[in-house]
Structure 1
């Protein structure tokens, strides 16, 4: 990292970019400062600008495809730190972002002081989360571990059925693709719900996708 860090503010809201500029210029006088307002522009800057140490990334920019876009940014410049600054406070999403390799997450509603702390910590190669978010992420990890143990109870055939449930397929479609009777699929579904301790197909499918991501 250079003595004076370089930043890329990737956000489609001009006022919020200005607010982040104010923080960065105050804390890092003379810093190299770039801006982007959509994912394509963000990626192009990362490909062509070497003097970037940290991306302050909004998730809701135009042409941003969520987790896939974040992964593309990380894969393109793995040495550049990524601090997600987002209005989206979904804990499952935060956990998935951390698994992808972001360095920190801070809500857009945070004070300047909190955002400043997050930037400083991430630049020092630490992982940064607000304390209340960190606690919820740890709880989610524990729950996912427990659910993972439950998935291990399923037979290979039940795993196949569950993967199709997660894709939104009906029992009739699953039976046709697997070449077995629909009544057998119904039996598998009942066993899957019981073993996973969930009440419906939707919950079972969500659980499978979470574990597939892991």
Structure 2
């Protein structure tokens, strides 16, 4: 029997995913759920899972940070990203950090089932649009060289949220961190991108299509 762990900070989303799998997944499976990175790590320490369905936006440790940590500590664990963020923002990075696939939450339920089946079978799942983007990335033979590529996963999340016009209080509440910590990330972003103000961060995010 396959064992799947669904990690998302919204209980309704977790239950929706599990419901889709229960209706449509052809193989026998057991499904558990976790609402934070800490809960996910606790469950993984207690039981062996075949596939982790992981959201990127969670309070505390981000999904990308958890992905990187788990891939380093448990390279045999298959991790399928299921995120609200469009592929152009995070998919290539997630795959480079060890993800076995990337799906947006706007994907049809049937696509989720296909992706889970493929990952459970030991394969990788990417959409045709992402396949084209990956081909361009590989054929270029080098990184894009854009300054935001050097940001950490959390710094990039904060960059996108600032670019979308959110203030530190909103960002802190959504990410489960303090306003002071948000300000620290903002300072790092300004330094790494060579910018001097929030307005310039917003312009940068718009220019590079980082806002969904």
CA distance in 2, matches of 1:92, 1:18: 26
CA distance in 2, matches of 1:68, 1:41: 15
**Counterparts of residues 197-208 of structure 1 (less than 5 Å):** none
CA 1:167–1:29: 2 relative to 1, 3 Å: closer
Q: What TM-score does the superposition give when structure 2 sets the normalisation length?
A: 0.63
Give the aligned partner of residue 63 of structure 1.
60
**Counterparts of residues 107-186 of structure 1 (less than 5 Å):** 107-143=104-140, 145=142, 167=192
Q: For residues 115-165 of structure 1, give each alpha carbon's deviation from its aligned partner in whole angstroms, at most 9, with x where no partner exists.
A: 1110011111111111112212222333462867xxxxxxxxxxxxxxxx9
Asked if 1:22 is matched to 2:47, the reply is: no
Give 1:24 deviation, angstroms: 2.1
Give the aligned partner of residue 99 of structure 1.
96
CA distance in 1, matches of 2:131, 2:191: 28
CA 1:47–1:128: 2 relative to 1, 3 Å: same
Instruction: Kindly indicate whether the alpha-carbon contact (under 8 Å) linking 2:55 and 2:63 is maintained by their aligned counterparts in 1.
Output: no
Give the aligned partner of residue 42 of structure 1.
40
CA distance in 2, matches of 1:61, 1:67: 10
Q: Show structure 1 runs of 5+ residues with no match.
A: 149-164, 171-201, 207-214
Larger Rg: 1
CA 1:69–1:147: 2 relative to 1, 3 Å: closer
Higher RCO (CA < 8 A, seq sep 6+): 2
Give the aligned partner of residue 32 of structure 1.
30
Instruction: Kindly indicate whether the alpha-carbon contact (under 8 Å) linking 1:5 and 1:28 is maintained by their aligned counterparts in 2.
Output: no
Q: Show structure 2 runs of 5+ residues with no match.
A: 146-189, 196-203
Give 1:81 deviation, angstroms: 0.6
Give 1:168 deviation, angstroms: 5.2
CA 1:113–1:46: 2 relative to 1, 3 Å: same
- Secondary structure of 1:167's counterpart equals helix
Give the aligned partner of residue 153 of structure 1.
none
Give 1:64 deviation, angstroms: 2.4
How many residues are treated as equivalent by the alignment?
153
CA 1:93–1:5: 2 relative to 1, 3 Å: same
CA 1:45–1:111: 2 relative to 1, 3 Å: same
